[in-house]
Structure 1
Amino acid sequence: MLKLGILDQSPVFPGYQAGDAIRHTVELAKQTERWGYSRFWVSEHHDTSRLAGSSPEVLLAALGAHTSRIRIGSAGVLLPHYSPFKVAENFRVLEALYPGRVDLGIGRAPGGMPIASQALRYGRPKERDELFGETLRDLAGFLSDRLEPGHRFEGVRAAPLVETAPDIWLLGSSGFSAERAAELGAAFSFAHFINGDGGHEAMRRYFADYRPGPLGRAPRANVCVMVICADTEEEAERIAVPLDLSILLREQGQFQRPFPTYEEAVAYPYTEWDRLRIQVNRNRMIVGDPKQAKARMLAFSEEYGVNELIVVTVTADPQARLRSYELLAEAFALRG
């Protein structure tokens, strides 16, 4: 049976404020737990007016308090910006609060423009890619109290000293994170919603090259994809129009532009090249009525060789987003 989880980026819907976006995220987690989704992940973005989720650790504390069963996690903490010791302590606090329910998803993307990355690192130099594996090993050591003998921080323990640890997932939209996940034993999530190309090969190599390591003992994987589901195919296509334009504008560097309304998207002066880009970007999403969406999601998961999809749904209307998740839960007969 295909499992479904959710990635929520706390989008700021047209006509709403950032505070509303955070409250929408909390309400969505409560509702999707009732509908039977397996996990609820939140993202990290910086210096943007479009997405309100900048601190997954803080948001997860609230989500855990408002839910009781669904797994909660980050997708992800952008580790190159931070001390692995502090990340370990943040997630040990979450594990103490909600034992057995926490996923620590790790990414290496900047999460914003270069100036925001510089502010996050506060003058520290950018971490080189070849050091990412070492940082991950340190994180695992702090979470398990098993730093390698002779490590410069040997003896330092991440508080609180809890008996359980969060599951570690590496997130990526290329083969790099898949390789690191296989090398270090982590679970792996491919961001198809970011990159519609190369994911199948990255996933194949992950399973082929996997070996147990400090981040895990057995291979586990899922794929994150955009899905818009509505009662009819026509309505789903209508809801997808603003998302098509939003993705196009981001590709053109318009990161601060608010998420468009349907009316704005219809009136936009598209060029022939714009329409070609929209067609290509549709490879990153599944759009349709419940029957169509289910069939396409099942085929999509089989192509990737995974039994779990993480769904991200961004619309111009919060009610349309809720309805999309509700219809998917009904189509897959999820159980709360």
Structure 2
Amino acid sequence: MNIRLSVVDQSPVHGSHSKQQAPHLTLELARLCDELGYHRYWVAEHHDSQHFANPCPEIMVGAVAAVTRRMRIGSGGVMLSHYSPYKVAECFRMLATLYPDRIDLGVGRAPGGTGLASRALAFPYSPHHGDLYPQQAQMLSGFLRDGLPDQNPFHSLRVMPDNEPTPELWMLGSSGGSAGLAGHLGYNLALARFIDPDNCKPDIFAEYDAQWREAGHEGKGNRMLAIACICADSDEEARLVAGTAVYRKLAAQSGLREDFLTPEQVRDRYQQLSKSQQAMFDHIEAGYTIGSPQRCMDEIRTLASAFDCQEVALVTVTWSQQARMDSYRLLAGML
């Protein structure tokens, strides 16, 4: 199977650099991945986070597009429940106008942050916690693609004077809840296996395809599988480096908030965990793709085959920026 590799960048706050530099490190990695031949580069959205430094994907998409030449650039994703679909449409049509045929708009239902952040984003109103997400996604599609029905009070609005070009529309999901909606509305679908590998199954794409056909859309929607992946020269080194990301996820599930630990600190901390905590750590680690370039590519191809998906996006969180860049460099060398 011919695999396309892409990137989902959460803009991690690397311990190797000051926190203020985190957004600049995203630009550094994007330049490298553009040179290495990655197909797509998406940036994530997080609020009130000490680990991830991008609350504004619409700004970061423009910044990344400005320093790259070849890759498609997009959001993975805009957390639509916080925003007006019309304003999101305006931002991304402007980006698509500035960078023609290169911009993707991926949207998601999750809040991307704490409950307090959600309340602040909704102020002076109350957050709707995704209850209006299907309506928002439908309206966003209408503003950008096929227009709103005449009975909609906003049907006469224009997003830009010529109402084109249009970014590629994608919907993000992790456990199947959004697959049917994406198919019904004609969005492309990106499955975030890195969020919930236990419940991210291949039959989610089957549901998506069924809803796509039932809605009468032409052709077939694009698919992407996004995985957590950390590659190093050897399996042993990769497992050591991956400890930072694995422990962060374990700590988050336990309600702990602390800066990224170094791989060596995680190795020592693991020995202090209870047996049940060690088992949970091991389970989280098993959901990652970790190892040498050959081991990682073998697993990537296995996952791509299982999900019948020719594009795999890599989410790589490490303590140091150098380890993250090395991971993407090593994997690009396998293509």
Question: Which TM class, normalised by the smaller chain length?
Answer: over 0.9
> Does the Cα contact within 8 Å between 1:137 and 1:214 map onto a contact in 2?
no
AA aligned to 2:123 is Y
State the partner residue of 2:303.
Answer: 300
> Does the Cα contact within 8 Å between 2:182 and 2:208 map onto a contact in 1?
yes
Under a length normalisation based on structure 2, what TM-score does the superposition of the two structures give? 0.94
Under a length normalisation based on structure 1, what TM-score does the superposition of the two structures give? 0.94
Instruction: Quote the Cα distance in structure 2 between the aligned partners of 1:34 and 1:162.
Output: 32
> Does the Cα contact within 8 Å between 2:244 and 2:260 map onto a contact in 1?
yes
Residue 63 (structure 1) aligned with residue 64 (structure 2): yes
State the partner residue of 2:107.
Answer: 106
Which structure 2 residues correspond to residues 29-48 of structure 1 after superposition, within 5 A? 29-48=30-49
> Does the Cα contact within 8 Å between 1:185 and 1:218 map onto a contact in 2?
no
Moved over 4 A (4+): 212-217
Instruction: Quote the Cα distance in structure 2 between the aligned partners of 1:24 and 1:143.
Output: 31
Cα-to-partner distance string for 1:215-251 (whole Å, 9 max, x where unaligned): 9863211111011111111111111122221111011
Instruction: Quote the Cα distance in structure 2 between the aligned partners of 1:19 and 1:215.
Output: 45
State the partner residue of 1:319.
Answer: 322
State the partner residue of 1:204.
Answer: 206
Instruction: Quote the Cα distance in structure 1 between the aligned partners of 2:217 and 2:54.
Output: 26
Instruction: Quote the Cα distance in structure 2 between the aligned partners of 1:21 and 1:215.
Output: 40
> Does the Cα contact within 8 Å between 1:140 and 1:214 map onto a contact in 2?
no
SS of 1:155's partner is coil
SS of 1:59's partner is helix
Cα-to-partner distance string for 1:95-125 (whole Å, 9 max, x where unaligned): 0110110010000101111010011111323
Distance 1:178 1:172, change over 3 A: same
State the partner residue of 1:175.
Answer: 176
Instruction: Quote the Cα distance in structure 2 between the aligned partners of 1:120 and 1:213.
Output: 34
State the partner residue of 2:313.
Answer: 310
AA aligned to 1:223 is L
C-alpha displacement of 1:149: 1.0
C-alpha displacement of 1:135: 1.2
Instruction: Quote the Cα distance in structure 1 between the aligned partners of 2:34 and 2:217.
Output: 27
> Does the Cα contact within 8 Å between 2:238 and 2:291 map onto a contact in 1?
yes
State the partner residue of 2:232.
Answer: 230
Deviates more, 1:29-38 or 1:204-213: 204-213
Distance 1:288 1:206, change over 3 A: same
Deviates more, 1:32-41 or 1:214-223: 214-223
Distance 1:144 1:210, change over 3 A: closer
> Does the Cα contact within 8 Å between 2:110 and 2:130 map onto a contact in 1?
no
Deviates more, 1:215-224 or 1:263-272: 215-224
State the partner residue of 2:293.
Answer: 290
Deviates more, 1:120-129 or 1:313-322: 120-129
Instruction: Quote the Cα distance in structure 1 between the aligned partners of 2:105 and 2:215.
Output: 16
Instruction: Quote the Cα distance in structure 2 between the aligned partners of 1:217 and 1:121.
Output: 38
Which structure 2 residues correspond to residues 59-208 of structure 1 after superposition, within 5 A? 59-127=60-128, 129=130, 131-144=132-145, 146-159=147-160, 161-200=162-201, 201-208=203-210
Distance 1:127 1:161, change over 3 A: farther
Cα-to-partner distance string for 1:24-43 (whole Å, 9 max, x where unaligned): 10011111010000000000
- Give the % identical residues: 36
Which structure 2 residues correspond to residues 212-223 of structure 1 after superposition, within 5 A? 218-223=220-225
State the partner residue of 1:245.
Answer: 247
Instruction: Quote the Cα distance in structure 1 between the aligned partners of 2:113 and 2:216.
Output: 29
Structure 1 segments unaligned to the other structure (5+ residues):
none
Instruction: Quote the Cα distance in structure 2 between the aligned partners of 1:42 and 1:97.
Output: 18
Instruction: Quote the Cα distance in structure 1 between the aligned partners of 2:260 and 2:253.
Output: 14
Distance 1:216 1:142, change over 3 A: farther
C-alpha displacement of 1:174: 1.8
Instruction: Quote the Cα distance in structure 2 between the aligned partners of 1:82 and 1:31.
Output: 32
> Does the Cα contact within 8 Å between 1:145 and 1:157 map onto a contact in 2?
no
Which structure 2 residues correspond to residues 7-26 of structure 1 after superposition, within 5 A? 7-26=8-27
> Does the Cα contact within 8 Å between 1:225 and 1:311 map onto a contact in 2?
yes
C-alpha displacement of 1:209: 2.9
Instruction: Quote the Cα distance in structure 2 between the aligned partners of 1:216 and 1:132.
Output: 24
SS of 1:175's partner is coil
Residue 275 (structure 1) aligned with residue 300 (structure 2): no
> Does the Cα contact within 8 Å between 2:16 and 2:320 map onto a contact in 1?
no
